[in-house]
Amino acid sequence: MQDLSVEDTNIKNLKVINPFYYEDKRGYFLKDFEKNMYRCLGIDDTDIAECFETGSTKNVIRGLHFQTRNPQAKIVRVLSGCIYDVNVDLRKGSQTFGTWEGIELSTKNRKCLYIPKGCAHGFMSFFDNTVVLYKCIGKYERETDTEILWNDPNIRVDWPLEGKAIVSERDQALMTFEEFVNKIGGL
């Protein structure tokens, strides 16, 4: 049996969450969220506003998404399959502004990711039928929802693709990091 624990990453406040997990002959029990436990681990912003899931085929890349006004924090977990989850720090004044971190999340490793406000988020699926669950903290604002190009030449995310990326039309025609800095400056 494993208690809920947290691992720091290279980006401030981007946290890997190891959920409470118990398994026996009946199956398993997993708890990935408890408000008071998160607070004890130093994660105070936990007012979940919405929850949704995505299903993806192999080599789908979604993102890098963020809101320019009232950014959302997120808690992300894989329900089926495996993803390479990428976050880019867009927080003005942050020591890691403009850097990215990639973390593998899967059904097998059961890790969750707490993504702080001010990070662009995206992922690539390793397998068909990959299902990802998002818990979003903060209201969704369609008018300020935008993205940075997933293959931006300045950020240079090293996506572990095996074949050609499958990307939506919207995700192919987005601003670059340089355009983001010139237009918005930071979050």
Residue 172: phi and psi, rounded to 5, are: -90, -15
| Catalytic residue annotation | 65, 134
Strand partners, 116: none
**Is pTM beyond 0.85 here?**
yes
Q: In order of start, what are the domains of the chain with their CATH numbers?
A: 5-183 (2.60.120.10)
Quote the percentage of the chain above a pLDDT of 90.
Answer: 78
Q: Burial of 97 by CB count in 10 Å (0-12 exposed, 13-18 middle, 19+ buried)?
A: middle
Token pair recorded at residue 36: 């008071």
- Using one digit for the tens of pLDDT, what is the confidence trace for 57-81? 999 999 899 999 999 999 999 999 9
On the question of pLDDT at 101 being above 60, the answer is yes
**pLDDT at residue 2, rounded to an integer:** 57
